Amino acid sequence: MKYYFIVAMAALFSIKLMAAPTIAPSPEQVSPLLNGLAIPDVTLYSADNKAVALRERVQQQPSVLVFYRGGWCPYCNAQLAALRTIEPELTKLGYQIIAITPDSVSSIVNSMNDTGGEKLTYQLLSDNQFKASSAFGLAYYLDDKTASIYKGKLGSLITTESGTEKVVLPVPAVYILNTDGEVVFNYVHINYKTRLESELLLKAAELALQ
């Protein structure tokens, strides 16, 4: 009996460690949230600087959640614009689209107005303290050499960790969530140039409802 109790406590401790928000040393070492797991209870900020409880928001309807690096990233802007092309189909299926970025609130306002030459109609949320990207297991520290280049080119557009001034980025990711806040589909790629094709996302969204 004592043996089983020790094993159970060890397993519980292990789960707690896995669930603790962390920032990985590199994109190769992230530990993304997996299918079947519940999303963390984190607060983000909308373009009008209002607090948004993510878990409460996704309980309203099935959701497509997108993590992107920032409005300064051309690959991210292309992805956001592509999402707009399938938004009508996702809306018909009952989904809401939520895109999360380390960008500041003022930066996401610019992204909503400028991405792809048309105003975005789905919601962008600021995660400038990296709480969501860390809790989802997507956050990592950019190496010092690349961080220096990014800071030199982009200046204040790059969000850094308070206290260390290290550049933290999320590995680009797409999650499909049900109204219980559970992950039913995820696509995570450590190469920031590789993004999920919109057609595949739409098909995954359709299948997730079956």
What are the tens digits of pLDDT across the range 14-38?
Answer: 334 344 578 999 999 999 999 999 9
pLDDT of 133 strictly over 70: yes
pLDDT of 9 strictly over 90: no
DSSP 3-state of 69: coil
> What confidence category does residue 117 fall into, taking pLDDT thresholds of 50, 70 and 90?
low
Say what the pLDDT of residue 7 is. 35
What are the tens digits of pLDDT across the range 34-90?
Answer: 999 999 999 999 999 999 999 999 999 999 999 999 999 999 999 999 999 999 999
High-pLDDT (> 90) share of the chain, %: 80
Give the pairing of strands 51-53 and 123-126. unpaired
| 114 compared with 112, residue with greater pLDDT | 112
The DSSP line for 138-205 is -EEEPPHHHHHHHHHHHGGGS-B-TTT--BEEEPPEEEEE-TTSBEEEEEE-SSTT----HHHHHHHH
pLDDT of 114 strictly over 80: no
High-pLDDT (> 70) share of the chain, %: 88
> Does residue 63 contact residue 57 with C-beta atoms inside 8 Å?
yes
Distances (CA, A) of 58 to 55, 156, 177, 186: 5, 31, 7, 15
Distance CA 185, CA 173 (A): 11
Q: At what angle do helices 74-92 and 198-208 cross, to 10 degrees?
A: 40
The two three-digit tokens of residue 54, written as one number: 């993510």
The b-or-e profile of 106-141 (16+ CB within 10 A means b, else e) is ebbbebbeebeeeebebbbbbbbbbbbbbbbbbbbb
| 117 compared with 97, residue with greater pLDDT | 97
pTM for this prediction:
0.87
Q: Which CATH number fits domain 21-208: 1.10.1050.10, 3.20.19.10, 3.40.30.10, 3.50.50.60?
A: 3.40.30.10
Write down the domain spans for the chain: 21-208
- Calculate the average pLDDT of the chain: 89
